[in-house]
Amino acid sequence: MAKFYARRRLSILAALSGLIASVALFDAPTASAALPTPVSAATARSYLSQLTVATENRTGYNRDLFNHWITISGTCNTRETVLKRDGSNVVTNSACTATSGSWYSPYDGATWTAASDLDIDHVVPLAEAWDSGASGWTSAKRQNFANDLTRPQLIAVTDNVNQAKGDQDPAQWMPSVTSYRCTYVRAWVQVKYYYGLSVDSAEKSALTSYLSGC
């Protein structure tokens, strides 16, 4: 009899665990962007203190100097790879084009079910990189920067939000979702530090302010 009740208790506990898991799954967001986790705020503050402060210079900039959306694997290019990474239940065709799925844009909190509503944002924009040191890079390094899937540099976001951001730095533009701003500035500083890019004085002041609240 004792064994019967023990088995019954285990069955009840298993059923409850399954119910809790189901509820959690039901309540979970349908999609969430999977930007590689940036360095901690403390590390970002350390990195920021080491960045060179310099005036930006856009002379000679051309977006085509950054060869972006290269082939990553099979028929998938960088854009398609990020869409698959950042979406939920993403289905692709033989050309690796996303035909269905769900994507959450952490910049503005919107969720989309059509890949055409999304841009792949360069957290540190290509023009901003050029202004702060990439003008002196090799073509290969600019290509690596424009297609970097290892650092927190590429993320799927609402297309018109990305277009509104343009080439602005954190002194000029920040995500409207305030809870994401700490992640954003940590990512920004990590990318600039890794690639040896400079910051201008207003940019450094804004980054310092945001990181102080992280």
- pLDDT confidence of residue 33: 58
Confidence band for 99, pLDDT divided at 50, 70 and 90: very high
Tokens 């059923």, located at residue: 15
Cα distances (angstroms) measured from residue 205 to each of 145, 197, 200, 211? 24, 16, 9, 10
Residue 36's Cβ-count burial label (10 Å; 0-12, 13-18, 19+) is middle
| Rounded Cα gap, residues 184 and 182, in angstroms | 5
What pLDDT is stored for residue 34 in this prediction? 80
pLDDT at 16: 35
Query: Average pLDDT for residues 183-194, to the nearest whole number?
Result: 98
Tell me the average pLDDT across 178-206.
Answer: 98
Q: Which of 128, 154, 148, 6 is nearest to 63 (CA)?
A: 128
Residue 15 has a pLDDT of 39
Q: Which of 176, 175, 177, 179 is nearest to 188 (CA)?
A: 175
HEC per residue, 185-212: HHHHHHHHHHCCCCECHHHHHHHHHHHH
Beta pairing partners, 110: 105
Measured CA to CA, the distance from residue 34 to residue 155 in angstroms comes to 7
pLDDT tens, residue by residue, 7-43: 433 343 333 333 333 333 333 334 455 899 999 999 9
Q: Phi and psi (nearest 5°) for 40?
A: -65, 165
Q: Under a CB-based contact definition with an 8 Å cutoff, are residues 81 and 73 in contact?
A: yes
Burial pattern 175-193, b for ≥16 Cβ within 10 A else e, equals beeeebbbbbbbbbbbbbb
Give phi and psi for 158, each to the nearest 5: -50, 130
Give the phi and the psi of residue 111 in degrees, each rounded to 5: -115, 135
What is the rounded CA–CA span in Å between residue 20 and residue 190?
38
The residue with greater pLDDT, 12 or 65, is: 65
Q: What is the pLDDT of residues 124-180, one digit of tens each?
A: 999 999 999 999 999 999 999 999 999 999 999 999 999 999 999 999 999 999 999
Q: How far apart are the first and last CA of the chain?
A: 57
Q: Percent of the chain having pLDDT more than 70? A: 85
